[in-house]
Structure 1
């Protein structure tokens, strides 16, 4: 359905089907570019949850983890401080050099598009067009809408998939959202794959048909459209993570449950994990909150399960992230055991590693904790392919892996959808 993506974009634009473009006033005040001239990529062997939390709290960004080896991005000063604390860092490459290598292997595209060889990835307009195509081709089981606007005025597109999509039925609901972090473009493809599978498969694949007929499935492929667009605005990758509000807010540290509580985010606006001025200060997270809150009907949350897709490290994560305790306020042993059971089943299917979120390192103000802590939604984060990377290149896998790595999660998606009805 999505193979002729550029034709779809032109057709949708001609028909006036694309969602709202950024308004001129919003674009006039661009956030300052955050440069880290002395930043570099390092590896640290022998880490665990405690040491990674320590590294994270110092201000270094953990890019990916495989086993006990962490890839981090740190300034020279942060690297020196880590060494003074006994960490043994191996420098891989400077930040600018790393981006140069990633882009040098691909070349440069026209402004606002993915570099040559990565054309199969969907930019903002193409994502809108793909959703519009799904809605046009499957009108009875789909409903396309926007959950709200980004900082720069872009609509945040979403699609509902159900056998009677125009009707709010009394069926368990499941949410899939992607691309909170701008450079994690593979996640947008994951959400679009879910759309394609559950629309094209309805009526021909019995398992898919049963799930669509018995559930209401919500898909939000691009939570951070401004950041995603900015990351490829020059026709090359920029390594951008946050939204485009001032120096940028890390959307996955801006959610309201235990926001800023536990050293799992930064109050430094230049940090990659900057949590914002207050909970929900980013319009993108506020839009997500308002949408999820809107699914409380007669006092009961209709969304029973959710996956927030990220890259990379090939992990299945469950709450909580703000504490290393398994059983704590808001999490009984029985509830934790259910998370562990479902997460382990998903990981057994896709080959990822299952663990509590804080086993990676402590975070606060993330969507995972809010979904469960506020609404008791059985929420997971899936960190997608690759299992490891040299640093930034892990965020930019070649386009020829898209089909394989998105289909790899079909079983995990089905496990969660079916669990939502129990």
Structure 2
């Protein structure tokens, strides 16, 4: 068996073994978004500029005020460390930063250069595109129908299916079991974020009845694999969706309008994840991204700890120990609003952690 699949499965097996509680046992933050069910989507014109026109820049981090100011410019931040902010920027945004007295440095002229796809284009084909991902999910569901069922959870701006693969011992029946969710590609250009949920799905179905621990998890939990939340962005090779909205700033909990989001849950992709969460008993979830090597836990929007801080840190430490990634509080890394983590914990008490691969 592929060693990469084994390592992914091992991490999840250890984490899943901790998950034997119900949602009602969690302390839920009291700031519940009253407009959770409101559908506010309005179709917008696609204003995305091709990735070849987007630079990757670094900006000296003088203080927290620097970060707040940069965030107000609607730049897509990739990483923040003690000295620099790393972000995407158009030439116009770079000029604006210079006018405002910042000193941006161009690290890469475009995304393909940063990823090495310009020199090694064959690398790009090692990642699943939308059609290949769809075929993989259909193959799993048709090969293992007794434990896997494929659902169309919703559709993207351009009408692509947002697939959810349910893995459990009775996939056609809604049982009173803990439910887990694994999402990839909120950002369409983070290709690796699709691969890990897919690998995990294969690991579960191929080792069912062979590995006793995996068999137990499949028999006693409902596991949802959603590898590509932003299929339009993935097909276009861009971070944002087809409406030029950063989906991981579009969730309604503590929404602020970052990432060009016009209103809470304005996009069909985030509406899909919201409706799926409301219809299911999601207790624990992982949202995959690609930028750093962090296990990013809530809160992201404020510095105060959650009521479940010890439990959340324990889960993050387990993942960090086996992956080599560094557990970090989201706000301590850099503040975000309207993201999947805070929505999940703030609105229904599910512990959602961002894994930056």
For residue 159 of structure 1, report the CA deviation from its aligned partner: 0.4
Q: Distance in 2 between matches of 1:257 and 1:219?
A: 23
Q: Distance in 2 between matches of 1:165 and 1:208?
A: 16
Of 363, 367, 370, which residue of structure 1 is paired with 2:343? 370
Find out whether 1:31 has 2:34 as its counterpart: no
**8 Å contact 2:185–2:194 — kept in the other structure?**
yes
For residue 37 of structure 1, report the CA deviation from its aligned partner: 9.1
* Corresponding position of 2:218: 212
Moved more, 121-130 or 369-378: 121-130
* Aligned pairs for 1:10-409 within 5 A: 31-34=46-49, 40-44=55-59, 51-65=66-80, 68-74=83-89, 75-80=93-98, 84=101, 89-95=104-110, 99=113, 102-107=116-121, 116-231=122-237, 240-245=238-243, 248-260=244-256, 265-266=257-258, 273-275=259-261, 277-295=262-280, 302-326=281-305, 331-332=306-307, 335-384=308-357
- C-alpha distance after superposition, 1:149-173 (max 9, x if no partner): 1111111111000112121111111
**8 Å contact 1:41–1:94 — kept in the other structure?**
yes
For residue 35 of structure 1, report the CA deviation from its aligned partner: 6.1
Q: Distance in 2 between matches of 1:304 and 1:149?
A: 24
TM-score relative to the length of structure 2: 0.80
* Corresponding position of 1:397: none
Q: Distance in 2 between matches of 1:180 and 1:157?
A: 13
- C-alpha distance after superposition, 1:288-318 (max 9, x if no partner): 11111111xxxxxx21101111111011111
Call closer, same or farther: CA 1:81–1:203 in 2, change over 3 Å. farther
Call closer, same or farther: CA 1:118–1:95 in 2, change over 3 Å. closer
Q: Distance in 2 between matches of 1:199 and 1:101?
A: 32
TM-score relative to the length of structure 1: 0.68
For residue 215 of structure 1, report the CA deviation from its aligned partner: 0.9
Structure 1 gap segments, 5+ residues each: 3-28, 108-115, 232-239, 267-272, 296-301, 385-422
Call closer, same or farther: CA 1:48–1:132 in 2, change over 3 Å. farther
**8 Å contact 2:341–2:351 — kept in the other structure?**
no
Structure 2 gap segments, 5+ residues each: 3-43
* Corresponding position of 2:38: none
**8 Å contact 1:66–1:313 — kept in the other structure?**
no
**8 Å contact 1:49–1:358 — kept in the other structure?**
no
Q: Secondary structure at the match of 1:104?
A: coil
Q: Number of residue pairs matched? A: 313
* Corresponding position of 1:9: none
**8 Å contact 1:39–1:76 — kept in the other structure?**
no
Q: Secondary structure at the match of 2:153?
A: strand
Q: Distance in 1 between matches of 2:64 and 2:318?
A: 23
For residue 323 of structure 1, report the CA deviation from its aligned partner: 1.2
More relative contact order in 1 or in 2 (CA 8 Å, sep 6+)?
2
Q: Secondary structure at the match of 1:118?
A: helix
For residue 89 of structure 1, report the CA deviation from its aligned partner: 4.2
Call closer, same or farther: CA 1:133–1:39 in 2, change over 3 Å. closer
